[in-house]
Structure 1
């Protein structure tokens, strides 16, 4: 097993594209190195939803991991998401991710589970096959409670028993179930890392007792999210609320009143470009760039947080 520290901030990184929608390798290298050196970052994750994974081919996903892992090899490890429809395909993706330099894997539920649902044994078999094929630590990626791919708390407890599963990326987005999920995992194995992926309500999910955050939002505001986590861990609610107040306008400008979506990832990419973090906010179709009104809201939120004119060197 590789030595990945899951107790901290793990950004699910965005992928810069050229105007022809090809991967901008020099910019990805520069951005990954900048992000990896921000305070509190313990790893980077490629091929998440923020990385527009569904617009990437399998080879491109491996290429993003290869570029990122090489760029930050002297700074921090890289985790790659596995987004597949079955065990045979997953094994192929696992081999490519591992060869590309991934030191851990984030396992998303197969997309067809969202439509048809699944049996608990399907999930156990899927994680077991990926764990055995990779020999790498796995993160169980937990989808919102309202989806048919949501894992019941009792299933999360069974996943926590698997030696391959080292952490949980918990995006339950229903706070009663979220509390039950945390409790179910902790009771089975308290050593398994619990990571919030609730970009749109970080403070509310952090105070439930978690070990870190694995969020796309950390591509934009890694420092603020680290400060928030530290304030929560110190029990300084006043400071935590102060930091969250800086995050809220950005959260509203990027995510609105809802959960992360493809268009929200596009808005975040524009925010990153306007903050000087990325040199371009190009997104791959069918995702659209933000409207003029959305860009004005993003600029106002960045200005409020003191980020509008900052530049990543």
Structure 2
């Protein structure tokens, strides 16, 4: 392809043109360079859908005609946690990664004007899929994503083609000492018990979540905790998070229901669990083996956000798993 760059230099003296010089330079782009400049069909798109008057932001990539993979993030992050996984999966699948209300780029109404809950979030995610015309999907569940996704599964089990479970709980065994202050808040939701949890919303706590239990903390990009903390520090967001901490207790009562549905419907599952996670320790991973017969089980030597250290390995396991179930 021939491109021309024309540069005109005029020298003006006493209001009149003294000289004009025009230089034209032409060059060619190789066919390879032209192809490289074409739009990437797997590039992530940043979109939003209005649901009940609220903007729900989401990342989307891949051909919508392909099977859909829904990626459900944890606390305190957003769809950003899947930034490297999405382009890999998009080569063969339609990928959607939403931000929950109060998280990421989704709307964040004040906590006293909106009912922040896991049931409400699950309903929002289902309505997003409905709006996108997605009838069936496999789902990656992590941290908060587990109760969101399992609630969606409970509403319509046949819609879920499979689970990818990464440090997301459905069993009492996974709620150990770390949860004691949160359990105190469930039992007695006073201002004092709520304020005791605000330390978990600080920069030190956010950085700890991303680096604790990792093999090489220095390799964990600080972009993770910098952007997360910016979102946590928005005026009113701590109140949003306290509402979600409190409502998490409602998930525990749903555990037996979800476990019964696992046994009844036997969805295929791939479990990839960071064994050094203090929030959702390995104790919460093993009970899945009691209820799911088609379970691929992997324990990884990392912490809470396993994708940060095991991203390529998790992506490869997911591709094999998704190819088998689709």
Q: TM-score range by the shorter chain?
A: 0.3 to 0.5
TM-score computed with the length of structure 1 as normaliser:
0.34
Q: Which has the larger radius of gyration?
A: 2
Q: Which has the higher helix share?
A: 1
TM-score, normalised with respect to structure 2: 0.33
Which protein has the bigger strand share? 2
- Bigger RCO (CA 8 Å, 6+ sep): 1
